[in-house]
Structure 1
């Protein structure tokens, strides 16, 4: 599991680097590299972009395979814990009740916070949804700790759901500073709200291993 996690982080780091190459050229994976009459564009490095896109596709396939292996590992891990709980006995044959707190559920793994809200612009979609700086995100639509890919998946969900509500599960510290609250907010990505981006907030990744729950 540790090796799989390291490989996942390595692939995501490389994906992020190659995505930055495309961003620096002002293109995406789907941007046309030819002019309207079929000639290669002369305002971008077409050869570099093609090579970068090919590498991104390769890395995405690798990432998908690693995630499959990681998911299998998680299932096996939880099954082993459950079996240990069911069959654990004392020397005299009495069943030992293991602490439920020591047996994290798969749901607890997927809802491990993976990002933090660093800032929220006034009047933005994030502000109107109720997000605040300091909130930590447990899920953003279908994105969670297992599949967020250094927040790349969050960007994809935002682009795919412009004008539509996305449920975001967050954890927020109480104003008193004592205790936390678990909240769900409905966030609608949109343009023309008066600022940059579709959300109007800045997210930063949280690096945390599931064993730290």
Structure 2
């Protein structure tokens, strides 16, 4: 019963996170429109005065809201990860206490049922970064990556550890070769093949990742 409740709680948290992601994407799209201020662009002119062509109060409100959403997203993701670890730990205990004769039909059914739960839990596909800047006609954009996409995996990179260094190394190692990239876009997983390559701009991808 405890496991069932924890699983239900986990999926509820995942739904909340999806709603946060949707609002984050809306704000990112609004700030990143052509001619817009971007997520961190300067709001002052060359003389240090507020730019007259920007609605600065709205921009600041959007940026502040995005910061709050990012923190909430991080907290939700940590809670989801904790729940997943507990659920996986519970399944390991179940396996240890079950019959050791694994070749019977009943045991095979038990293993298949457990595998089904694994699929459900792994469907969390926790993103570790999102695209906060991307240049037009850059390799990443031409291969399907979009502003606001949340990175679940990038080649062999699937965690925050030394993220920027690992992403750069992954792109360099796979220069001119396709890299499998999984992103979360509007609540749905999207599989991409991105080829890091030389282009007229900087880097091999032409985009920037922000930690979640």
Q: Distance in 2 between matches of 1:166 and 1:65?
A: 33
When the two structures are superposed, what TM-score results if normalisation uses the length of structure 1?
Answer: 0.54
What does residue range 31-50 of structure 1 map to in structure 2 within 5 Å? 31-50=41-60
CA distance 1:16–1:165, change in 2 (3 Å): same
Q: Distance in 2 between matches of 1:166 and 1:142?
A: 11
2:68 to 28, 33, 58: 58
Q: 1:169 maps to which residue?
A: 180
Gaps of 5+ in 1: 113-122, 148-155, 172-183, 200-213
Q: What is the Cα-based RMSD across aligned positions, in Å?
A: 4.7
Structure (1 or 2) with the greater helix fraction: 2
Q: Deviation string for 1:47-68 (max 9, x for gaps)?
A: 1100000000000000000000
CA contact (8 A) 1:166 1:187 kept: no
1:7 to 16, 28, 50: 16
Count of aligned residue pairs for this structure pair: 154
1:188 to 193, 196, 208: 196
CA contact (8 A) 1:140 1:166 kept: no
CA distance 1:65–1:81, change in 2 (3 Å): same
CA distance 1:125–1:71, change in 2 (3 Å): same
1:140 to 137, 150, 154: 154
When the two structures are superposed, what TM-score results if normalisation uses the length of structure 2?
Answer: 0.54
Gaps of 5+ in 2: 1-9, 127-136, 145-150, 183-191, 208-212
Partner SS state of residue 3, structure 1: helix
CA distance 1:48–1:143, change in 2 (3 Å): farther
Q: 1:29 maps to which residue?
A: 39
